[in-house]
Chains A and B, each alone.
Chain A
Amino acid sequence: MHKEKFDLEIPFYVVKEIEAKGAEYVEARLHSREEVGCILKNGEQEPALISSSYGLGVRAIFNGALVFSATNIVDRENAKKIAEEMMRKARSASGLTKNRIKFSRERRVKKKWSALEREKLLDKGFEEMLRVLKEMDKIILEEKEYIPMRFLELEISLEKKFFTNSQGTYVEGYVPRLYVGGFLTGLKNGRSVQKSVEFGGSGGWELISNLRIFDGLKCQVGVIKELLEKAKKVEPGLYDIITGPEVTGIMVHESIGHPFEADRILGREGAQAGESYLKAGDMGRKIGSSEANISDDPTIPGSYGFYLYDDEGIAARKRKLVVNGVVNELLHNRATAREFKTKSNGSARANKFDREPIIRMANTYVEPGDYTFEEMVKDVKRGIFVNSFMEWNIDDIRWNQRYVGHETYLIENGEIKYPLMNPVIEVTTERLWTSLDARGKELQFWAATCGKGDPMQGVPVWAGGPHLRFRKLEVKTR
């Protein structure tokens, strides 16, 4: 059940208990998440889902050794047990903790915050969720001759956290979210085209209209039909590339957002999500053209990555990662901020009670410029408009990346011509961002779940930006 009211006795108790055992720092987080989900597979409803997690996550530093413990048995007896075990484990780890962990000094806060939920999500339930999915299914069925297989899901989630630490901070936060996902398979003329679609935001049931789910899906259905009927093979070579906001978003998320996570720069994710092309002394390094202006902002109302205080009790704010092509700011938690001799910019998040808070992106995007889409196209002699993608990947220092287009069109002499089948862009980060010469006016976002950490944590994010124009990128075929 969703915890309407947390029992705060245990987090305060466990913080005191561990502090009394000699910890330099202790924090405790009560964390609940209620999820309700519906699935339609080829028009048939799969079993409906209700998931409810609730538990306590505790983190402490003893003599520079960091320990994290989590349990869903939230009572005094267990809290006492946790405290003792954490101290024992920290002692054991102390000898091998050569880089002593310390946190940046930050302001103590006492805050309660929440995302705006106009129409309460839990008031809706399965019946209404199913109605939305069926309406989506109907849109797809209008082209059933082209799209015989489809998978649709709708999930609402209510996340509530209470955080306190040994420095006197306590923060209570609440974020309701809605996510709609789909996977469409188009088959016709001996061709097969697939597309995953995702919509997500924070807020209430009003997101169904705010996210323009039905219009968005209708567009995707039309694109699949067009690809199956008309797409031509791309001629490999150099092209000017105009990206749509979805492609802008994946590019910026993968090649700027992740490598700007300070924990990766310091090597903490070395054996899992990898490190970064940036080094600790790279502030001020030029990595793109002067058009490259890139930010991450958790405070965007309605965004999928929305929060106002992070899971270390630090106020969230916009981070200007790249300004005029130059590395300007990294994503920090309190530990990396201390290493970099700065303040945390509130980037620590945990996706569940049993995960330690680590540095995460929230809503990462390219700042809008002053071009219209038409103006961008007009100035292209030989180019490709890549509006969406399917396959993508990037190496583990975030340098060598690939995006395979889904909805793409050839541009010739300033005019959009015909759709192309699967053009491949494979490029280094520096080449990509130094090729950027124009940014569109309109900012758009798309939702995704970003994975990082060990154990793995998926967190909701938005990624996006305006249309972008890159000069002379190499395009290959699949």
Chain B
Amino acid sequence: MNEILDNVVDRVFKKALEFNVDDASVIAAYGRENMARFSNNSITVVNTLDEMAVFLYMIKEGRRVVGITYSVKSDELDKFVERLFSSMQFVEKSLEATSLPKGAFKYSGENDYDKRIEELSEGVVDYCESAINAALSEGAKRVSGTISANTEFYKIKTTGGVEEYDRVSYISANVRAFSETNSSGHGLSCATYLSKFHPDEAGKTAGNFARESKKTGYWSEGEYDLILGPTVAADIFQMVGSSASAFRVDSGVSFFKDCLGKKVAVETLTVEDYGTVEGGFGGRKFDDEGVPTQKNVIIEKGVLKTYLHNTSTARKYNTVSTGNAGIITPHPWNIVVGEGDMSVEEMIRECKRAVYVTNNWYTRYQNYMSGEYSTIPRDATFLIENGSIKYAINGTRISDSVPRQLSSIKAIGKDRRWVKWWEIEVPVYTPAILIEKSRITKAQF
């Protein structure tokens, strides 16, 4: 694979230099995804996505342009660079343009890689069966989901003297089980090694939640303590990670504006971003500018410690890149939430009046700066009264603000897991959390 990446990167890099650009960064990425989807206990499609893309960033006299192409034959690559370069003359010179960082850098991070995931091919189908059967054995009637095995290879070359490779593999099971009454449960398994991948456990969790949420009862709109399972907590921490991007702060799409060094959460909360971390699969050892990725402590003991930067945003903030480029938008790679000391069962026992949410979707903001948003719990959602689960409840909606919730975390769980599925784009390693007094609303019917 490295030879193919070398050829593509060298061709584009050489061509870019022929135009005497001040700086250039070329990344070639090859990705392969083997995916099987199922619903109603039956496979619906088997997908094989096999593709290579080339990314080129060029700067000349303050003019900046970014290109991506999937046309990777030699003559097409040449035309791609020519087209990109000829477009540069129409781009304005930017005061924010900065030279690419110069190496030599030390890349200490390593992503996980399992050759067996790369070679899995139709093996994903067997995992579907395992997930479906596990859910059915818990009493589910219908099971839907996805098994997805991914392998990615990267090479970067920059005028900053960087030339580096990376690769990562991961596999995930996203399982949803339905009972005969259409109560439902959700289960996940995300792993970077096949030995740590447990689609049967994802199926079992989904089936178990579907069964346990069959008994439903009345609830009224109002304030409740919230126990958010890892999948739901991941949604909040995904928002924390993306809101730490300096670009988003400047664009008004963040609740962290003017918060550096200030308390933004309870003291027990620590949130970190890692380019490479054991079990993580959202990052690389280098960012889009060739800067080594690193561990960034976003929130330490409740205090916002840093924004996430590329070199342009870092210069504006009079600091250095945090290794999170995105040429335009710095972004988190893998979010890791510090562990607490409570189990979900202990959280339940702690609560007088609470709602336990195991999954959610459709998070939307009214105002990103204030962090006011709502999201919809889906699958098993339980009413808790006096320290125990009373019954499942339907038709709930969480309406709150992220800053308020971060400052109202009462307990953090001790069992962390990796979460990445349809609703969560950045892999998040998080436990469950307990939040005091969130508003739960219901629809007029």
Name which of A42-50, A287-295, A310-318, A438-446 contacts chain B.
A42-50
Give every chain B residue within 8 A of A270 (Cβ-Cβ).
39-40, 142, 144-145, 176, 178
B90 part of interface (Cβ distance < 8 Å): yes
Nearest-neighbour CB distance to chain B for A432, whole angstroms, equals: 9
Name which of A19-27, A65-73, A108-116, A374-382 contacts chain B.
A65-73
> In the complex, A88→B47 CA distance in Å?
12
Nearest-neighbour CB distance to chain B for A338, whole angstroms, equals: 14
Name which of B66-74, B158-166, B235-243, B402-410 contacts chain A.
B66-74
Contact A391 B365, CB 8 Å, known A72-B71, A426-B443? yes
Nearest-neighbour CB distance to chain A for B287, whole angstroms, equals: 15
B146 touches A65 (CB 8 A): no
B interface majority secondary structure: strand
Give every chain B residue within 8 A of A266 (Cβ-Cβ).
39-40
A1 touches B46 (CB 8 A): no
B443 touches A401 (CB 8 A): yes
> In the complex, A66→B45 CA distance in Å?
5
Nearest-neighbour CB distance to chain B for A411, whole angstroms, equals: 19
B67 touches A71 (CB 8 A): no
Residues 248-282 of B at the A interface (beta carbon under 8 Å): 250-253
Name which of B212-220, B347-355, B356-364 contacts chain A.
B356-364
Name which of B79-87, B110-118, B223-231 contacts chain A.
B79-87
Say which residue of A151, A395, A404, A426 sits within 8 Å of B378 (CB atoms).
A395
Nearest-neighbour CB distance to chain B for A46, whole angstroms, equals: 5
Say which residue of A52, A390, A456 sits within 8 Å of B365 (CB atoms).
A390
Nearest-neighbour CB distance to chain A for B360, whole angstroms, equals: 10
Say which residue of A44, A66, A391, A427 sits within 8 Å of B44 (CB atoms).
A66
Give every chain A residue within 8 A of B72 (Cβ-Cβ).
72-73
Most buried by A among B37, B64, B66, B253: B37
Residues 53-73 of B at the A interface (beta carbon under 8 Å): 53, 57, 64-72
Name which of B100-108, B189-197, B369-377, B426-434 contacts chain A.
B369-377
Contact A54 B70, CB 8 Å, known A44-B96, A98-B42, A454-B146? yes
Chain A residues touching B, range: 35 or more
A392 to B, closest residue via Cβ: B364
A396 part of interface (Cβ distance < 8 Å): yes
A271 touches B145 (CB 8 A): yes
Nearest-neighbour CB distance to chain A for B165, whole angstroms, equals: 20
A369 part of interface (Cβ distance < 8 Å): no
Provide the A432-465 mask, 1 if CB < 8 A to any CB of B, else 0. Answer: 0000000000000000000000111000000000
Say which residue of A69, A271, A274 sits within 8 Å of B47 (CB atoms).
A69
Give every chain B residue within 8 A of A393 (Cβ-Cβ).
362-364, 374-376, 397
Contact A192 B51, CB 8 Å, known A151-B252, A455-B33? no
Nearest-neighbour CB distance to chain A for B53, whole angstroms, equals: 8
Contact A267 B422, CB 8 Å, known A402-B374, A402-B443? no
Provide the A21-44 mask, 1 if CB < 8 A to any CB of B, else 0. Answer: 000000000000000100101101
A147 to B, closest residue via Cβ: B252
A213 part of interface (Cβ distance < 8 Å): no
Contact A89 B48, CB 8 Å, known A428-B443, A455-B33? yes
Name which of B11-19, B120-128, B293-301 contacts chain A.
B120-128
Nearest-neighbour CB distance to chain A for B438, whole angstroms, equals: 13
> In the complex, A46→B247 CA distance in Å?
11
Most buried by A among B40, B46, B76, B186: B46
B304 part of interface (Cβ distance < 8 Å): no
> In the complex, A394→B376 CA distance in Å?
7
A96 touches B49 (CB 8 A): no
Residues 87-126 of A at the B interface (beta carbon under 8 Å): 88-93, 96-99, 101, 125-126
B94 touches A44 (CB 8 A): yes
A454 touches B442 (CB 8 A): no
A183 touches B47 (CB 8 A): no
B87 touches A267 (CB 8 A): no
Nearest-neighbour CB distance to chain B for A327, whole angstroms, equals: 19
Nearest-neighbour CB distance to chain A for B221, whole angstroms, equals: 9
A36 to B, closest residue via Cβ: B87
Give every chain B residue within 8 A of A49 (Cβ-Cβ).
65-68, 328
B174 part of interface (Cβ distance < 8 Å): yes
A193 part of interface (Cβ distance < 8 Å): yes
Give every chain B residue within 8 A of A401 (Cβ-Cβ).
443
Name which of A163-171, A197-205, A360-368, A470-478 contacts chain B.
A470-478
Say which residue of A92, A126, A130, A391 sits within 8 Å of B372 (CB atoms).
A391
> In the complex, A473→B372 CA distance in Å?
23
Give every chain A residue within 8 A of B88 (Cβ-Cβ).
48
Provide the B432-444 mask, 1 if CB < 8 A to any CB of A, else 0. Answer: 0000000001111
B333 part of interface (Cβ distance < 8 Å): no
> In the complex, A66→B121 CA distance in Å?
15
Give every chain A residue within 8 A of B399 (Cβ-Cβ).
424, 478
> In the complex, A366→B291 CA distance in Å?
51
Nearest-neighbour CB distance to chain A for B107, whole angstroms, equals: 25
A354 part of interface (Cβ distance < 8 Å): yes
A431 part of interface (Cβ distance < 8 Å): yes
B50 touches A69 (CB 8 A): yes
A414 part of interface (Cβ distance < 8 Å): no
> In the complex, A70→B368 CA distance in Å?
37
Give every chain A residue within 8 A of B307 (Cβ-Cβ).
none
Give every chain A residue within 8 A of B252 (Cβ-Cβ).
149-151, 183, 185, 194
B92 part of interface (Cβ distance < 8 Å): yes
**5 pairs from A and B in contact (CB 8 Å cutoff):** A41-B250, A45-B94, A51-B67, A65-B43, A455-B33
Which A residues contact B (CB, under 8 angstroms)?
1, 36, 39, 41-42, 44-55, 65-73, 82, 85-86, 88-93, 96-99, 101, 125-127, 130, 149-151, 183, 185, 192-194, 266-274, 353-354, 356, 390-396, 399-402, 404, 422, 424, 426-428, 430-431, 454-456, 473-474, 476, 478
Q: Which 4 A-B pairs have the closest CB atoms?
A: A270-B144, A185-B252, A47-B64, A393-B362
